[in-house]
Structure 1
Amino acid sequence: MLGMSVVQPVEVDRDVVDFAIVGKWMDEQGLPGGEFTGVKPLGGGTQNIMLRFTRGGRDYVLRRGPKHLRTASNNVIRRESRILGALDGTGIRAPKVIAACGDEALIGAAFYLMEPIIGFNPQTELPELHANDPEIRRQMGLSAVEAIARLGSLDHEALGLADYGKPEGFLERQVPRWLSELEGYSANEGYAGPQIPGLERVGDWLDRNRPAPARPGILHGDCHLANMMFRYDGPEVAAMVDWEMSTIGDPLLDLGWQIATRFEPGTTGASLVGSLGAVGGLPAPEEMAAHYAKFSDRDISQVTWYTVLACFKLGIVLEGTYARASAGKAPKQVGDFLHAITLELFEKAHKLMD
């Protein structure tokens, strides 16, 4: 078989991606054959592996879980490929899946191939056009809001995603779900437990002020600007990436997430989006909410509650890396950095509650 003659690129460990096996599989999918060229590891996300390459005159990005798979890694990749496939043709700005392999036995992990995205990630790059024009940066923020509003307005059942999540009781589950997650971090030896001022107060406030259940929809789940790529020639979102936290629930949490992660220049959190966070110029929360309403018929009157929930949930998610770093399972510098952001998120939550 043609694929079996493939030379393994020196840049890639065969245990991560065996290109001979992938080549044979691609042949079986009817994709163009030939040698793999231009193989290049890509950044973006701290857990999953992405490799860009060209074969048979077509460009691809392969995405799979980390080299040392976690329990849910393969399922995350399968879910990502499923939702991206469902979104194809809807107009939502997301990567386009070319082919997916849910059989982890093939290369040791589930994976999928997608089309490369032409655009930049503001965490690692800020072109001159965007760096020098505050209005461009403001429009970047508004384009990101529009993207999640359009996503949350889709009919997920019509797209075949009725069983993609558990929307019943979605909001009611959030506080106990994430407090339980936080409690589980104590299994990391060396982690002294959460040192998060006002943790219980925020949880109590969320439970006491919880909005009534709303119409379910699709959430990206982690829609901060570092998980978006933007066009080089303007402020528009090119694609939302890293869909591993996507689900079906209350899409207004995505709006709260975007507001919660718009850190002010000079804060630790602002460095999540590199130069963009340093120069600022993004829209204010009030403008973001008003812009969301232009593309959605959802009631945004309680957007503050969703923003507090986003601070609470994301803060606990980031604390997980701090706990693992305390146990020597992650770099200490990264753990300390993310813990500082957790404290900023809870400080923001307290201000919003007052």
Structure 2
Amino acid sequence: MLSLDAPRAVRSGEELDLNLLHEYLRQVAPSVGEIQEVRQFANGFSNLTYWLKTSTQEYVLRRPPFGANIKGGHDMGREFRVLSLLKGHYDKIPEPIVYCESADIIGAPFYIMTRISGIILRAHMAPTLNLDPAWMRELSEALVDNLVAIHRLDIEKTGLIQLGKPNGYVQRQVEGWNQRYRTAETDKIESMNSVGYWLQQNYPIDHAPAFLHNDYKFDNVLFAANEATGDPLPLIKGVLDWEMATVGDPLMDLGATLAYWSEAEDSPAYKNFNLTWLPGNLTRQEVVARYAEQSGRDLSQILFYYVFGLYKNAVIAQQIYTRWKQGHTKDARFGHLLPMIIELADNSAKAIERGEI
């Protein structure tokens, strides 16, 4: 039996000032009521997420990590704005309650939303997750179908168009991540350079712009739970982590998902990204086929998007590795990232060579 995504005790040094928070909420969001209990959801290195319990409701508070550069990818106001624009148009989101721009209340800007409870299938669960392959396949299919639903949202009617500039989106992404790699480069990795060059020489045809989640995978999705067994149902209750959402080519979103979609034959390190290698899951080719069938989009150039997804992941890992090598972090895990960077780059180059994902 799987448990719902459960909060834990608040980590030392990351506590909330409840007195100031209560005073603020009484003024701007009195419907929230008095907070009776605070806990914290486990997280990696992204925004901090707290569980708030009142006498009638459960809420979630999101704030940037301590010491983060707020302008460098932890914009609480933007994430709150995304949820506000989606409200009434897409039902798999929590209800946004209030956004506080000031850092005077809890030490950083934050927002509060209602909580959606459900099961999150995380990569570390794979060794103990004992689901029937046919059931796992249904969960995979539900994940793909929901991505199609996100890409079907009317960006004009919803106002989501204001989140980005779709014209030239793909080229800006490629050039931007190429530049990030050059800035963070520490070791000569021939395949990284060749893949970066290939991307700049093989831009795909333009696709009609759509709303993109930009980090869509199993561990950002909440599935409903079977009340009797606790197993996940192929019914998505909520999608989390909209901080990187924007407007652009929808196949860039699909490519990012495919770049995390490990298969049974992939290396053990690559399987750490997702649990899609478990029996029953769709293969990457089957993901592409189902997305094409459900969306009606032309996926003949999906190789480009898959390669870019792998390349982007490699650059992110390179940036983290560079911070470790320069002594900006002491986390020993980061010192072992170079083989992963090389593997992602080599996988990209091999996909280009064989002409398929």
Q: Offset at 1:128? A: 11
Alpha-carbon separation, structure 1, partners of 2:138 and 2:335: 32
Relative to 1, partners in 2 of residues 1:303 and 1:332: Cα closer, same or farther, differing over 3 Å? same
Q: Kindly indicate whether residue 270 of structure 2 is the aligned counterpart of residue 269 of structure 1.
A: yes
From 196, 202, 226, give the equivalent of 2:195.
202
| 1:93-135 superposed Cα distances (whole Å, 9 cap, x missing partner) | 3333222223334332111112222222222675999623112
Alpha-carbon separation, structure 1, partners of 2:96 and 2:195: 39
In structure 1, give the amino acid aligned to 2:30: G
Q: Kindly indicate whether residue 240 of structure 2 is the aligned counterpart of residue 241 of structure 1.
A: yes
In structure 2, give the amino acid aligned to 1:271: N
- Correspondence for 1:41: 40
- Correspondence for 2:52: 53
In structure 2, give the amino acid aligned to 1:268: A
- Correspondence for 2:82: 83
* 3-state SS, counterpart of residue 178 of structure 1: helix
Alpha-carbon separation, structure 1, partners of 2:256 and 2:314: 11
Q: Kindly indicate whether residue 243 of structure 2 is the aligned counterpart of residue 220 of structure 1.
A: no
Equivalences for 1:262-341 in 2 at 5 Å? 262-265=261-264, 266-273=267-274, 276=275, 279-336=278-335, 338-341=337-340
Given that 1:96 and 1:115 are in contact with CA atoms closer than 8 Å, whether structure 2 keeps it comes out as yes
Alpha-carbon separation, structure 1, partners of 2:90 and 2:112: 20
* 3-state SS, counterpart of residue 148 of structure 2: helix
* 3-state SS, counterpart of residue 75 of structure 2: helix
Alpha-carbon separation, structure 1, partners of 2:12 and 2:85: 32
| 1:208-262 superposed Cα distances (whole Å, 9 cap, x missing partner) | 2211222111111111322223333313333222222211111111111121211
What is the percent sequence identity of the aligned residues? 28
| 1:255-300 superposed Cα distances (whole Å, 9 cap, x missing partner) | 1112121123442121233xx3563432012221122124323322
Relative to 1, partners in 2 of residues 1:69 and 1:96: Cα closer, same or farther, differing over 3 Å? same
Given that 2:123 and 2:272 are in contact with CA atoms closer than 8 Å, whether structure 1 keeps it comes out as no
Alpha-carbon separation, structure 2, partners of 1:347 and 1:238: 37
In structure 1, give the amino acid aligned to 2:77: R
In terms of mean alpha carbon deviation, does 16-25 or 299-308 score higher? 16-25
- Correspondence for 1:3: none
In structure 1, give the amino acid aligned to 2:31: L
Given that 1:130 and 1:235 are in contact with CA atoms closer than 8 Å, whether structure 2 keeps it comes out as no
Alpha-carbon separation, structure 2, partners of 1:342 and 1:92: 37
Query: Could you tell me the TM-score, scaled by structure 1's length?
Result: 0.85
Q: Offset at 1:92? A: 5.0
Alpha-carbon separation, structure 2, partners of 1:241 and 1:167: 23
Relative to 1, partners in 2 of residues 1:337 and 1:36: Cα closer, same or farther, differing over 3 Å? farther
- Structure 1 residues not aligned, in runs of 5+: 1-9, 187-192
In structure 1, give the amino acid aligned to 2:173: Q
| 1:309-342 superposed Cα distances (whole Å, 9 cap, x missing partner) | 1111121112211111222333543314544433
In terms of mean alpha carbon deviation, does 230-239 or 58-67 score higher? 230-239
- Correspondence for 2:225: 232
Q: Offset at 1:54? A: 0.5
Alpha-carbon separation, structure 1, partners of 2:144 and 2:180: 28
In structure 2, give the amino acid aligned to 1:179: N
Alpha-carbon separation, structure 2, partners of 1:236 and 1:323: 40
Q: Offset at 1:49? A: 0.7
Alpha-carbon separation, structure 2, partners of 1:110 and 1:263: 36
Alpha-carbon separation, structure 1, partners of 2:112 and 2:135: 32
Alpha-carbon separation, structure 1, partners of 2:161 and 2:117: 31
Given that 2:263 and 2:283 are in contact with CA atoms closer than 8 Å, whether structure 1 keeps it comes out as no
Equivalences for 1:167-206 in 2 at 5 Å? 167-185=166-184, 193-206=186-199
Given that 1:151 and 1:219 are in contact with CA atoms closer than 8 Å, whether structure 2 keeps it comes out as yes
- Correspondence for 1:63: 62
Q: CA RMSD in A?
A: 2.6
- Correspondence for 2:115: 116
- Correspondence for 1:350: 349
- Correspondence for 1:189: none
Given that 2:321 and 2:335 are in contact with CA atoms closer than 8 Å, whether structure 1 keeps it comes out as yes
- Correspondence for 1:4: none
Relative to 1, partners in 2 of residues 1:332 and 1:67: Cα closer, same or farther, differing over 3 Å? closer
Aligned length: 336
In structure 2, give the amino acid aligned to 1:212: I
